[in-house]
């Protein structure tokens, strides 16, 4: 130790150290107050050392070691008759001493705090002091090593943080079980037992290695290494460090195993246990037990056969809850927070084929971790789920072909891979019919087995991490089967034309509908949006204000209109965007048909 050097350090850094001590005191008071009800006597000390400890070590290393090199005053120091080793030892020991002082003071304050409410023998708390000291010395030795790495010290700290992150997120080690941090584990927090000897050995090894590394950097090579490292990072190094940190963060996050949610238990309603799928349907007044039982069986068969055909790895329980008051064509899937499964709320008079289709749709969405809803495969999810639900019901299939044939407006070339826009334009009934027609065409052309083989590939469970970026695109799978989106579009179009011929009589009975949405801005009254429909006695107007980031319709408000026109109960502001939709119940198609979907912008 060199006394003159200690005095110099005190003068040079005293103010910063005092400020750090002040911040540390406030932090200690805060964690002790917060941790007072945490149950452990030394929870506050543990939290303080885990948060403020590394911060204090970082500040100390910066001030005592890094600054001397970056400011080139190390060179002046070396011209004085004091050995480099002695100067380094003085600084290292000063930093270590200050860390121990901080830990000791924090321990003493925590002990006093704990003794206000309970009897705690000094001898019981001494072990905690040892743990705090070992932790502090290990952290300081690492900070000193990082400090001697000069401009790369941030990378060293980042790497240490990444190691902890990976240990916790990937290896599944609890934070208080990570080596070194284990010194402040639960037994220590409760002051009930000392950590295992290995925890101290880890700390000792880390301290020894870091100290040896820091000493080598300070003394070997005439100290030139430390001086060189102290220079500022280049822009390239900064970018590299940033990208490295982001990569580690993303990888550790994406590799984090997702919690397995338990399936919910079905205890009510008519239950049916299929080979893979358990289904429950709750009978209500207008939905009798027999219908419920038969629906449960049909759903179980649908799901089981699809699971087997596509070798899906999930077998969620399904529960259908008929609910009075819902519109016939409105079906909702309940969000389950803590359990796994498919719960649907439907109207008692909902078309059963649609309920079955929605179950299969949910199954495929879950099996693909939601990736089935991506634009380049959504049509296949809709198509396959409807195709599967209708597979044994020729009458229903023809009804859906009729709906598809009713699409008169020629779809744009990319309508199958821009499914959000297609569905917005056509509405649910006809977009599902379109998807069905596309899938049915694919199955006819390729053959059922080959089509299912392709779907097995497309709906395979994706990797739940960054590797998903390398998954095969549906277009590539279709191409392998001899199809591409353009040829599929053309083939489906041809099939719809045939359906139009088959159902010409029915289609001719459909009324001619015309709809318009207009808006006007009146001073003092704002913007009024008016919908007009000719050819129908009643219609439903849906509307929503689109947020700046909204791309789809989301949940829309509904206005049932009797008559030819209505003003929407909406007063949007200037520059707002509104999506207005008009649907009319089509008796021939047996579903609501979207007559108009228009995005308005008020400039």
Partner 1 sequence: MNDAIRLTDLRVRYGRVRALDGLSLAVVRGEIYGFLGRNGAGKTTTLRVLMGIVGADGGTIELFGEPMKRVSVATKRGIGYVSQEQNFYPWMTPSQLGRFVAAFYPTWDGAEYARLLRVLDVPSDRRSGILSGGTRTKLGLALALAPRPPLLLLDEPTAGLDPVARREFNDMVASMAAERGTTVFLSSHLVDEVEGIATRVGIVQAGRTSIEGRVDELRERVRRVRSAAPLELPPGFTRVRADVWLADGTLWSAASWPEGTSVEPLPLEEIFLAFARTDAPVDAAA
Using CB under 8 A as the criterion, which residues of the chain lie in contact with partner 1 when the complex forms? 3-4, 7-8, 11-12, 71-73, 75-76, 78-83, 86, 222-224
- 74 vs 78: CA distance, rounded Å: 6
Contact 537, 562 (CB under 8 A): yes
CA angle at 370 for the pair 550 and 582, rounded to the nearest 5°? 40
Contacts of 565 (CB under 8 A, 6+ apart): 530, 531, 532, 533
Q: Nearest approach, Cβ of 8 to partner 1 (angstroms)?
A: 6
Q: Nearest approach, Cβ of 155 to partner 1 (angstroms)?
A: 23
| N- to C-terminal Cα separation, the chain | 76
Contact 331, 322 (CB under 8 A): no
| Beta-strand relationship, 577-586 and 538-546 | antiparallel
Nearer to partner 1, 77 or 284 (CB): 77
Q: Nearest approach, Cβ of 154 to partner 1 (angstroms)?
A: 24
- Please give the C-alpha separations between residue 116 and each of 30, 105, 107, in angstroms, as whole numbers: 17, 17, 14
Nearer to partner 1, 68 or 495 (CB): 68
User: What is the separation of C-alpha 349 from the centre of its chain, rounded to a whole number of angstroms?
Assistant: 36
Nearer to partner 1, 227 or 531 (CB): 227
Residue 558, SS3 per DSSP: strand
Nearer to partner 1, 232 or 520 (CB): 232
- The residue ranges of DSSP E strands in 393-483, in sequence order, are none
- 334 vs 345: CA distance, rounded Å: 7
Nearer to partner 1, 70 or 565 (CB): 70
Nearer to partner 1, 84 or 397 (CB): 84
Q: Nearest approach, Cβ of 80 to partner 1 (angstroms)?
A: 5
Q: Nearest approach, Cβ of 81 to partner 1 (angstroms)?
A: 4
Contact 404, 434 (CB under 8 A): yes
Nearer to partner 1, 220 or 550 (CB): 220
User: What is the separation of C-alpha 200 from the centre of its chain, rounded to a whole number of angstroms?
Assistant: 38
Contact 583, 540 (CB under 8 A): yes
- 112 vs 127: CA distance, rounded Å: 16
Nearer to partner 1, 74 or 277 (CB): 74
Q: Nearest approach, Cβ of 13 to partner 1 (angstroms)?
A: 10
Q: Nearest approach, Cβ of 7 to partner 1 (angstroms)?
A: 8
Q: Nearest approach, Cβ of 2 to partner 1 (angstroms)?
A: 8
Q: Nearest approach, Cβ of 11 to partner 1 (angstroms)?
A: 8
Contact 229, 149 (CB under 8 A): yes
Q: Nearest approach, Cβ of 99 to partner 1 (angstroms)?
A: 24
Nearer to partner 1, 15 or 395 (CB): 15
Nearer to partner 1, 67 or 345 (CB): 67
| Phi and psi at residue 518, to the nearest 5° | -130, 160
Nearer to partner 1, 78 or 304 (CB): 78
Half-sphere exposure of residue 91, counting CA atoms within 13 Å on the CB side? Answer: 32
Q: Nearest approach, Cβ of 477 to partner 1 (angstroms)?
A: 56
Residue 201, SS3 per DSSP: helix
Nearer to partner 1, 3 or 469 (CB): 3
Q: Nearest approach, Cβ of 4 to partner 1 (angstroms)?
A: 3
Residue-wise burial string across 372-390, b where 16 or more C-beta atoms lie within 10 A, e elsewhere:
beeebbbbbbbbbbbbbbb
- The residue ranges of DSSP E strands in 447-576, in sequence order, are 514-522, 526-534, 538-546, 557-562, 565-567
Contact 442, 390 (CB under 8 A): no
- 26 vs 19: CA distance, rounded Å: 11
Contact 94, 6 (CB under 8 A): yes
Q: Nearest approach, Cβ of 176 to partner 1 (angstroms)?
A: 42
Nearer to partner 1, 83 or 447 (CB): 83
Q: Nearest approach, Cβ of 55 to partner 1 (angstroms)?
A: 24
- 66 vs 550: CA distance, rounded Å: 49
- 380 vs 118: CA distance, rounded Å: 66
Nearer to partner 1, 10 or 243 (CB): 10
CA-based diameter of the chain, in Å?
108
């Amino acid at each position: 130790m060199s006394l003159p050097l200690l005095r110099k350090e005190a003068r040079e850094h005293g103010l910063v150290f005092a400020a750090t001590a002040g911040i540390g005191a406030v932090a200690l008071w805060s964690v002790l107050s917060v941790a007072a009800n945490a149950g452990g006597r030394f929870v506050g000390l543990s939290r303080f050392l885990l948060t403020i400890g590394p911060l204090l070590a970082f500040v100390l290393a910066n001030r005592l070691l890094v600054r001397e090199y970056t400011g080139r005053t190390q060179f002046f120091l070396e011209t004085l008759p004091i050995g480099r080793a002695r100067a380094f030892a003085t600084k290292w020991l000063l930093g270590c001493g200050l860390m121990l002082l901080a830990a000791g003071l924090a321990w003493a304050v925590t002990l006093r705090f704990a003794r206000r409410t309970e009897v705690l023998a000094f001898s019981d708390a001494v072990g905690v002091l040892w743990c705090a000291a070992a932790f502090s010395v290990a952290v300081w030795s690492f900070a000193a090593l990082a400090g001697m790495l000069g401009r790369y010290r941030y990378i060293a700290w980042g790497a240490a943080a990444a190691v902890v992150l990976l240990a916790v997120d990937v290896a599944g080690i609890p934070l208080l079980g990570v080596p070194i941090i284990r010194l402040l584990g639960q037994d220590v927090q409760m002051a009930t037992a000392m950590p295992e000897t290995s925890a101290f050995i880890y700390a000792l090894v880390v301290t020894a290695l870091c100290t040896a590394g820091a000493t080598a950097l300070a003394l070997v090579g005439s100290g030139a290494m430390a001086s060189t490292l102290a220079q500022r990072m280049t822009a390239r190094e900064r970018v590299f460090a940033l990208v490295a940190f982001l990569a580690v963060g993303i990888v550790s996050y994406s590799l984090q195993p997702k919690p397995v949610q338990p399936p919910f238990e079905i205890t009510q309603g008519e239950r049916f246990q299929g080979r893979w799928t358990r289904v429950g349907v709750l009978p209500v007044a207008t939905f009798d037990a027999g219908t419920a039982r038969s629906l449960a069986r049909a759903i179980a068969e649908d799901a089981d056969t699809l699971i087997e055909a596509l070798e899906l790895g999930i077998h969620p329980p399904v529960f259908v809850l008929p609910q009075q008051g819902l519109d016939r064509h409105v079906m909702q899937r309940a969000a389950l927070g803590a359990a796994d499964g498919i719960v649907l709320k439907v109207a008692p008079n909902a078309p059963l084929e649609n309920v079955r289709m929605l179950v299969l749709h949910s199954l495929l969405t879950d099996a693909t971790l939601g990736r089935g809803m991506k634009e380049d495969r959504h049509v296949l999810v809709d198509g396959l789920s409807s195709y599967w639900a209708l597979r044994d019901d020729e009458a229903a299939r023809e009804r859906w072909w009729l709906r598809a044939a009713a699409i008169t407006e020629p779809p744009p070339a990319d309508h199958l891979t821009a499914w959000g826009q297609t569905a917005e334009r056509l509405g649910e009934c006809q977009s599902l019919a379109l998807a069905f027609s596309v899938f049915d065409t694919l199955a006819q052309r390729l053959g059922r087995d080959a089509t299912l083989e392709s779907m097995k590939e497309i709906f395979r469970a994706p990797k739940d991490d960054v590797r998903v970026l390398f998954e095969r695109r549906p277009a590539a799978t279709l191409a392998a089967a001899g199809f591409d989106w353009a040829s599929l579009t053309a083939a489906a179009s041809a099939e719809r034309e045939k359906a139009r011929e088959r159902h010409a009589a029915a289609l001719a009975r459909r009324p001619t509908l015309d709809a318009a949405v207009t808006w006007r801005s009146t001073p003092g009254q704002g913007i009024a949006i008016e919908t007009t429909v000719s050819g129908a006695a009643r219609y439903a107007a849906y509307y929503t204000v689109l947020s700046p980031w909204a791309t789809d319709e989301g949940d829309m408000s509904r206005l049932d209109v009797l008559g030819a026109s209505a003003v929407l109960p909406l007063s949007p502001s200037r520059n707002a965007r509104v999506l207005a939709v008009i649907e009319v119940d089509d008796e021939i198609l047996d579903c609501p048909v979207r007559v108009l979907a228009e995005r308005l912008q008020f400039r």
